[in-house]
Amino acid sequence: GGVPLEGQVSLRYERATNQLSLRDSRLRTPNASIEVAGTLMQTLRVKFQATNLDDVRPAMEFGGATEPLPVRLDGKGSVQFEGTVSGSLQSPLVAGQVRASSAIWGELHADALSSTVVASAERLTLTRFSVTHEGATANGSGTIELRNWKVSGASAIDVRAEARGMN
């Protein structure tokens, strides 16, 4: 079975310019919601929140993604993103604010995290990030080289951080 989906999408297609615009469009599953407005292939304003990223998987597969998300949430976790997606769907640039709680990325666990992000298939830039886990906090900024949206063993990582409460 699929994930139940409800919402409203307001589209406008301009044939003369071949532009597809979305106005105040909203979609919701039991554990995720997204609001989108803007022009496809130019800039979309996006607000996204989820408490279970499995609800997003069918949309990712529809968009051609074959790999699972590198981030997951534990049973009480959540993630929010507010920002923009610009450029083509094949090579988007994502920029905005991310906040998450009870998030897991590989072997890294975070009770809470927040950052300003700029991401493309080749690079993830974090500005003013803050990560907290079991009383320890790290703050900083940095850049991680990606290959098709993934960190590899050859990825260059340049991070400047300050940590407190580490044991």
In order along its 167 residues, the chain shows pLDDT tens digits of: 678 999 999 999 999 999 999 999 999 999 999 999 999 999 999 999 999 998 988 888 877 777 778 889 998 999 999 999 999 888 899 999 999 999 998 888 999 999 999 999 999 999 999 999 999 999 999 999 999 888 888 999 999 999 999 87
Q: Which of 33, 11, 38 is nearest to 95 (CA)?
A: 38
Residue with tokens 């690079």: 123
At residue 1, the pLDDT reads 63
Please list, residue by residue across 45-63, b when 16 or more beta carbons sit within 10 angstroms of its beta carbon and e when fewer do.
Answer: ebebbbbbbebbeeeeeee
Both structure tokens of 113: 């995290």
At residue 28, the pLDDT reads 96
